[in-house]
Each structure stands twice: as structure tokens, then as C-alpha cells.
Amino acid sequence: MSTHPSPVDALLREGVSRRNFLKGLLASGAVASFPGGALAAEPYVDTKIPFTGKKSYTTFRNACPRNCYDTCSIKTFVKDGVIQFIEGAKESTFTNGGTCVKGNSYVRRVYSPDRIKYPMMQVGGKGSGTWKRISWDEAMDTIAKKLLAIKKEDGHLLGAALTKYSGNFGITHYGVEGMFSSIGYTTRFAGTPCWPAGIDAQNLDMGAMWCNDPEEMKDSKYIILWGANPAANSVHSMKYIFEAKKKGAKVVVIDPVFTEAASKASEWIQVKVGSDGLLALGMAKIIIDANMHDKEWLAKNTKGYKEFKAYLDTINLRDVAETSGLSLELISQIALEFAKADPATIWSGYGLQRHTNGGSMIRAIDALVAITGNIGKYAGGSRYGHLDTWGFNYHAMSMEKPAGSVGYVGGKRMGEFGHGAAGEEKPDYDDRYLNINKTAREILNSDPKVRLLWVACKNTFAQDFDRNLLIEAFKSLEMVVVVDEFFNETTKWADIVLPVTTQFEEYDVNVSYWHYWLSINEQAIKPLHEAKNDLEIAALLSKKLNALEKGSCTFPEYVDTKQWTAKEFNAGIYEKFGISSWEELKNGPVKAKPVIPYADGKFFTPSGKYEFYSETSKEYGWKALPEYVEVRKPYDKFRLTTPHSRFSLHSQFQNLDWMEEFNAEPFVYINTKDATDKRVETGDIVAVFSKVGLLRVKAKVTDNVPSGTVMMYEQWFNNNIYNVNELVDDTSSDMGAFKTGAPGVALHDAYVNFRKI
Amino acid sequence: MQKAFLVDSSICLGCNTCAMACKNQYHQDNGIAWRKVREIGGETYREDQNNFLPTVTWYAKAPQAQMPEERYYFSLACNHCENPACVEVCPAGAQTKDPITGIVKHDQELCIGCKGCVLACPFGASKYNERLGKSEKCSMCWERQDEGLLPACVQSCPTGSIALIDIHDPAYANAGTTDPLGIDYAIGSSTKPSTRFVHPSLPAKMHRL
């Protein structure tokens, strides 16, 4: 790979609005306080790149690692050491030569003038906006000294906490967890804000979260997209749905919102929020009453069907109709059509389980699919997600604790800190786990106190809840280190920010929780500016810690992402994907050998069967059966629903100028009736307020959302204070503690009011 | 031969992948997009953000379709007209119609920035780049096509809702219509735009609360 400095430098200086902005800053003498560091104002450079023929590019294999169903396989075209453009890898039938709108903006992301370029320290204190460029050595020295001071003063490192989630799902990025293990017993924010209630539900029913290959949907005869909107959030799945539809399959979308997917369905059914579980149970009852259930499959493969049937007998279908807002005729029609079709499948979206009764709703839908015998069947299945192709070594996180480390007392004394009373056996230590979905509260109430927080692969302020309490929590911390590509609201409340590489600047490996393809990330370009990858950062910290105090960190002091990527592979992965070496992935992504989940009737539950009746569920304090549970009671006038936008992946991508070109600003979507009541018209600025916060945002009046609900996409815009989590409290969903360590968040059970301003 | 885009709105997700794929390939300046995804329904698409619709013709008729906003879309770029007005007015020979493919090409080396093409195009496809003092527009990725590749937008579309066809090929004689539902598209334009459209439709049944 040849590196030609001038085009890179030229690209880095690009940005006309930036230039003007900087000129203004120079005039005011305020450049030193600008987070990206003092950049000289440079003339705008033309980056328009004519296509110069396939042969003139060096190509690399990459993958999008950003928490998305599609996890696109990418082919990267590089010239003179600069990424010119990307394409989807054609080898993957799923990606099929394309990425999504976000993927197509990657060049701009990598070469964004807004990228964090150097380690920076907020010298004026958190939130001051007064930054100073520091060296990597200085950054590591400051952090290492703080860690050692915490250990010395507290006698342990539980005051050091890590919060990391889905900004980069590449396997080697688990090295961040490895780094925290390598310094001793520390505090980890556990759980996931995304899908825990559904994970638990599927694990209770089937002993795993495991879904059929989405590419099979082309052969499904009946597809229910239940609270799932692949037309915005898994665009590559839509071609299979369209193919099925073309072949005569019926595609039903059940969703309170007229989503992009609903607009392309055969039939759209608007349902009252939170009633989906009851609707599924009502459908199951209708199917059984019509004697259309798969008796043979049920007898052979399930546990507790009799109890489930007895429970269904107590359900009054008139209640189902009233609660869901649908007519009995419609419910019967959909239920019987679904039962008749073979194969039929349901895809449950993640929004469905972001309710106080979310896990129970997924269990009810699983049960509906199960009674029709569509589980274990080609092109059938209750689809939610899978981790079937994630069997890597996780070498990056397998670090031992330094000798003599002290931590939480394990086992039954979990939650109680100490060395154990005199005379007791020497306790086994553990890391401390705090609930990631109550980050603010957990930081403020922690004992021993969280003193240092490390944020990686995560924009806490865009993803966690009750933003105003988060500010208080972050201010209470002695040191906040944020590793990111961009300055955002989380870096605003940081003391030190460290620039991290994109996937084009490091080696890594990626799989999906939806499709069955495996891709690698090759290092296509040299890291820009002073950016380092998460593994290198861990190694640097290790080197510094050991220099200051020998033996204080077990993380290797040198890493090569290529070698570390290779270390993640094992015989099981090779067998599953039919390759003999990871190097084969340089020729393109490969797909796992086809398997139909549960086709052999073997479930991973305690009974080995599909469990309508789950003892485990009972142990966790939930209902043993997939019973109907009422949703959270409203505490304000309007339900707030905060789905994902097609223009962003959580807080990523929307901050790029290219994305702003197509989606310039945020909106609150208000139903026509509610807007009329409140005298709001499209374009008006409204104040949306809840018990936790207030946001001013432009209104769009639309029939796409139901009356009584307002919709605001979860996004982070650059230079815009919009943050929907200003309005969302941290109330938990029912499930999540079983498999992910903490319950999820009932994101869509937040309530607000609004008025025109 | 007249190469053309066939835009199938019945399977267009409005995902904007095509428009961004064009940016990815050409790195257009901020404020300039050769391809845009427009909403059908309501009035919003007429509030043009990119001088896409500069002529009076565009505003003459009300939208015809009653489609929910933000759910139905057309992806539009240069129409590579059979009788392109831009080619006719260009005094520098910068806009040319490829005699074999029918692609209307723009040569920025030759462009003198007179804005003739921008004013002449009934569809606003030619953009004036203030910074360069020159015009630019969709090239149907003829450079890619010369190498046997599809245009970036076509290749990138996740559902195949943009295809490349030859409207003079009898096989495509009935492919789509010249009329993009809900948008006054200057159908009668003497330039004879080549783009063909498949209309969207609402779900067969919709059950609202």
C-alpha cells in the first residue's frame, strides 16, 4: 500500500462551513478552546473523484461493525492511500453489492474534519468547552496515575468503571473489557439498552435466541412483521420479503405506526401499544379453537402446552379485541390465515419488547408461532435475532487479574463489599456489575463510589436515559475518559478524550445477529491523525501502568490488530463457515453452513423442549406461562415512541454533513387530531416536555403515528441540542436480568406532553 | 439505444441509499446532490431544498396522489433526455449526448459556467457549483458502465427499485410510465425525458385505530 501524503492532507483540510467557522474562531482568538484542536483555515479542496477504472484501485475487505441487523460486507477502493469509495461486497448474497445510506457515507466519516484528532484534555473542567491538546503519553500518564491512586486510596479498583456498548461490535473490541480485567477487579456497566427483554423471553421459551436465516424469508408463505420496520432498519432484508410477496405470500405488518415497512405490506394493522402480547394470545386461542394447531409437533416438542391451553381458555376474545383496538373478525382472519399458511413466520422487532411487559409479549408471540408448528421449519420460525455465529475465542478479553487484586466478594455475598469477617474463608472476588440502563442512578448511588469512568464504543448521553441526571452523575466523577471518533455530548462531560480509529484503519472480524455471513475488516488505510485502536490504547495504558508500578497490569504492552484478529478464530468457526483459514476472508465474506434452528426438536431449555411453562421464568419472579401483563400506566398525556431512523445507527452517522444533506433536522411527529387540538401545524416549533426534561423541536403533522402518541427518532445531530433521551426516564422492562445481567428499558413507555411555542 | 433509469416506487423504501451512493462515488460538494429521493404525497417535495425544480412548470399543478407523507418516494436524477435542452444550449460543447448509449455527459473541463444548462433543464438536473463556478450533473456513471459495472445508485439499491434499461429495446417497451405519480414532471416536455416510473400503491388493506 503506497501512502501519498498530499491527497490525505488535502482531504483532511476540507470543509467550507468549517473554514468559515474557523475563520470566525481565529478572529475571536478562541481557537484554543475548539475541541478538534487548532486547525489552520485552509482553502476548500475539491474532493470530487472521477472513477478511474477498477484496476487503478487497491481493494480491501471491510465490514460495518455498528450494531445493525445487516452488518454489511464492504469492499473498499483505495488510491494513493486514500479511500476513494466503498461498495457492498457482491460475494455476500445478503449485501449483494450494496450497503445502506449510512454505509455509503463512510468516506465522509473517515475523513470528516470533525474527527477527534489528538488526545485532548478539558482543562476548564467538565462541560467548560476549554480543551487542550495533550500527547498520548501525557494522557496515559494522567489516567494511569489516577487508577493507581484509586487503588492505593481505596485498596481496590472498584472505583474504576467501564461503560461500553455497541458503537463497534467488532470482536477484537472486546479488548476494552480485557483492558479493564487486566488491571484488577473493576466495575462494569452490565446489560444492554437494546434487546434484553426479548433475549430473555426467547431463552425461556427455547433456551436460546436463535433465528432462521433471513434469506429464507423469500420462501415463506406468510410473514408477519410485528413491530419490525426492516424498510428503515434492515433494508437488505426487504428484498427477500418482496420476493416472497411476488410469489404470492402475504406480508402483514402489525405496528402502531404506519412505518416504511407497513407502507409496503399486503396489510397493515394498527394496534394499541402494549397490547401485542394479548393479541398474540388471542390469535393462539382462535387457532386452537379452530383445531388448526400442530398437535403432532406440540406433543413431541413442547412442555406445558396443557397449562398454556388452560390459560388461553381464561382469555375472553372480546377483551382481546377491546384492548388491541381491533375487530374480532380481523383478529380471526389474521390468526387463521397464519395457521393455514405453510411455512409462516413472525419477525418481532426490538421496539416491541421495550415496554414494561415487553418480555411477556415476545413470549406470547413465540407461543403463537410454536402452536402452528412453524418453529424448526425452513422459512418459518419466530425471528428475533441470533448469536449462533459469534463463537469466537474472545481472546482480546481473556486477561488475568494482577496478583493480589481485591474486588467484590463473590457468590452469595455479592453486593456486599469487604474482605470478609475474621475467621471466614478467604473470599473469591468478582467485578462489580451495575445496571447499564440506570447509569446515572448507579453512578450517583455507588458504594464504593465510582471515581473514574471509561467510556468506549458508546455515546452515553445519546443512549442512556434521564439525561439531566446523567449530567449530575458525570459531574460527580473524578475522571471521565471517553474514547470516540467525534466530539459529542458525552465528550462534553469528559475530562480526557482519546481519538479512536475507524474499522478501515485496523484489523477486526464481524458477524451479524441477523444474517449468517462472516466478514473481516482489513486495515485499508493508515490511522488518521493520532487515532489509535482500542487494543493499542489498552496496550499503551498497560505499558504506562507497569512503568509506574510493576505488575499492575496484565494486558500485553504491544498489540498488532492483525495478529489479534487471527487469534479470535478457532476450529468451530472454520467448521461452521467452511473455511480453513481466516485469510480466506480476504477473498470476500463467507456464509455459515445452513442450519434450521431447532429442526431436530432439540431445545436448550432445562427440559430440552419448547417451554410454554418455564420454571426458570418463575424463579426470576415472572409468570411461568406467557401470560398477558398490562403495560405501564400513562403518567402524562401522550406516549412518546422513539424508534430508530433510517439515517442513523443510534447516535452514529447523522452528524456527517452528507447525511445532513438528506435529513437536515429532527422533528416530532404528531397525529393530525392531536395537532389540531393543540393548534400545531407542520413547521411549528413545539416544546415537548416530560417529568424528566424538555426539548424544543420542529413539528411534522402526520397520520403515520396514532393519536395519543408522538414520535421522535433516536438520533444525534451535530451542532443541534436534540437528544430524545432528555425525555425518557429509566423505567425497566420486565425481563433482561436472566441472560444479560440487567433488565432492559421500557423506552416506548415514556410519556410526555407538548405545546406550541 | 437510449439508456434510462427505471424507478420502481412500489418497492422503493425511501432509504436514500441511491443518493448517498452517488455522493460516495463522486463526493459532491455540500448542498449539491445529483440524485435525490423525493416524497410523494402532501406538499413537502415542492419545498425544494436543492433548486431541483427551478421552472414555473413545476409549480403549475397540484400533486395528484393521496399518499401518506414520508412513506412513498421517487428517486430522481438527470433524465438523460432523448432531446436534451442542456445539450442544445451549451455554448462550450460541455454537455453532449452519447450517440451510442444516449447518456447525456457533462465535461467539466469544457464547462464555462454560463448556467445555460441549469436554466434550460425543465427538471433542474444540472446544478451550478458556486465554488467551482461550473455546472455538474448525473453522468449515469458512464465511466463505470464502460467497465461493465452498474451505476453506483443502481448497484447500491437494496431492493432493486432503480434499474438500468434501454427504452428503445422492445423488451422494455412497457416498462413503467413517463408519469411519476403525484409529481408534475413536465410529462409533455419536448426534451423527452427517458426515466420510467412504476407507481407505488398503498397496502391492500389498512386497519387504523
Mean pLDDT by 10 residues, chain A (757 residues): 42 38 34 36 58 94 97 96 96 97 96 95 96 98 98 96 96 97 95 94 97 98 98 98 98 97 97 97 98 98 98 98 98 98 98 97 98 98 96 93 87 38 61 94 96 97 92 98 96 98 98 98 97 98 98 97 97 98 98 97 98 98 97 97 96 95 96 96 96 95 95 92 92 94 94 96
Q: How is chain B split into domains, by residue range?
A: 3-197
CA gap A708, A739 in Å, rounded: 34
Interchain proximity B17–A235, CB inside 8 Å: yes
Instruction: Identify whether the C-beta of residue A201 lies closer than 8 Å to the C-beta of residue A353.
Output: yes
% of chain B with per-residue pLDDT over 70? 84
CA proximity to B155, closest of B25, B9, B34: B25
Question: Nearest Cβ partner of A51 from B17, B25, B49?
Answer: B25
Instruction: Identify whether the C-beta of residue A103 lies closer than 8 Å to the C-beta of residue A241.
Output: no
Distances in whole angstroms, Cα of residue B130 to Cα of each of A45, A466, B3, B106, B136: 14, 44, 30, 17, 11
> What's the average model confidence in pLDDT over B81-89?
96
CA gap A115, A103 in Å, rounded: 17
> What confidence tens digit (pLDDT) does each residue in A551-583 have?
999 999 999 999 999 999 999 999 999 999 999
CA gap A451, A153 in Å, rounded: 11
CA proximity to A312, closest of A372, A364, A374, A373: A364
Interchain proximity A85–B209, CB inside 8 Å: no
Cell 487548532, residue located:
A38
A652: three-class secondary structure by DSSP: strand
> What confidence tens digit (pLDDT) does each residue in A189-218 have?
999 999 999 999 999 999 999 999 999 999
Is any Cβ of chain A less than 8 angstroms from the Cβ of B11?
yes
DSSP A462: H
> What confidence tens digit (pLDDT) does each residue in B183-196 have?
666 666 789 999 99
Q: What is the pTM of this model?
A: 0.93
Minimum CA–CA partner of B143 in chain A: A51
Q: Which residues contact A381 (CB under 8 A, 6 or more apart)?
A: A211, A212, A345, A369, A374, A375, A596, A597
Question: Nearest Cβ partner of A98 from B156, B202, B205?
Answer: B156
CA gap B168, B165 in Å, rounded: 9
Instruction: Identify whether the C-beta of residue A693 lies closer than 8 Å to the C-beta of residue A146.
Output: no
B23: exposed, middle or buried (Cβ count in 10 Å: 0-12, 13-18, 19+):
buried
Interchain proximity B203–A263, CB inside 8 Å: yes
Torsion angle (degrees, nearest 10) of CA A692, A465, A160, A191: 140
Question: Nearest Cβ partner of A104 from B23, B29, B203?
Answer: B23
- Kindly indicate the confidence band of residue B41, based on its pLDDT and cuts at 50, 70 and 90: low
CA gap A386, A576 in Å, rounded: 15
pLDDT at A37: 36
Cell 382462535, residue located:
A286
Nearest C-alpha of chain B: how many angstroms from A256? 9
Q: How crowded is residue B183: how many other Cβ atoms within 10 Å of its Cβ? A: 22
Long-range contacts of A570-579 (CB under 8 A, 24+ apart): A570/A391, A570/A392, A570/A393, A572/A391, A573/A391, A573/A392, A573/A518, A576/A389, A576/A391, A577/A389, A577/A518
A25: exposed, middle or buried (Cβ count in 10 Å: 0-12, 13-18, 19+):
middle
**For residue A291, which amino acid is it?**
N
Instruction: Identify whether the C-beta of residue A716 lies closer than 8 Å to the C-beta of residue A459.
Output: yes
A753: exposed, middle or buried (Cβ count in 10 Å: 0-12, 13-18, 19+):
middle
CATH code of domain B3-197: 3.30.70.20
Is any Cβ of chain A less than 8 angstroms from the Cβ of B204?
yes
Instruction: Identify whether the C-beta of residue A577 lies closer than 8 Å to the C-beta of residue A586.
Output: no
Bin A102: left if φ > 0, else alpha if -120 < ψ < 50, else beta: alpha
Question: Nearest Cβ partner of A85 from B17, B25, B207?
Answer: B25
Count chain A–chain B contacts defined by CB atoms under 8 A: 168
Q: Which residues contact A611 (CB under 8 A, 6 or more apart)?
A: A204, A205, A206, A207, A302, A303, A304, A603, A605
pLDDT at A614: 98
Nearest C-alpha of chain A: how many angstroms from B42? 10
Distances in whole angstroms, Cα of residue A669 to Cα of each of A13, A265, A312, A388, A649: 37, 22, 37, 37, 19
B 106-165: CB under 8 A from A = 131-132, 141, 143-144, 147, 149-150, 152, 155-160
Q: Which of A248-262, A395-409, B16-30, B48-62 has the lowest mean pLDDT?
A: B48-62
Contacts of B158 in chain A (CB under 8 A): 96, 98, 100, 235-236, 238-239
Distances in whole angstroms, Cα of residue A133 to Cα of each of A30, A32, A82, A137, A489: 14, 9, 26, 12, 19
Q: Which residues contact A542 (CB under 8 A, 6 or more apart)?
A: A179, A182, A553, A554, A555, A556, A557
Interchain proximity B203–A262, CB inside 8 Å: yes
Nearest C-alpha of chain B: how many angstroms from A262? 8
Q: How crowded is residue A412: how many other Cβ atoms within 10 Å of its Cβ? A: 7
Cell 463526493, residue located:
B27
Question: Nearest Cβ partner of A661 from B21, B30, B157?
Answer: B30
How high is the ipTM of this complex? 0.92
Instruction: Identify whether the C-beta of residue A140 lies closer than 8 Å to the C-beta of residue A541.
Output: yes
Bridge partners of A30? none
CA gap A465, A742 in Å, rounded: 15
Q: What is the CA radius of gyration of chain A?
A: 26
pLDDT at B187: 62
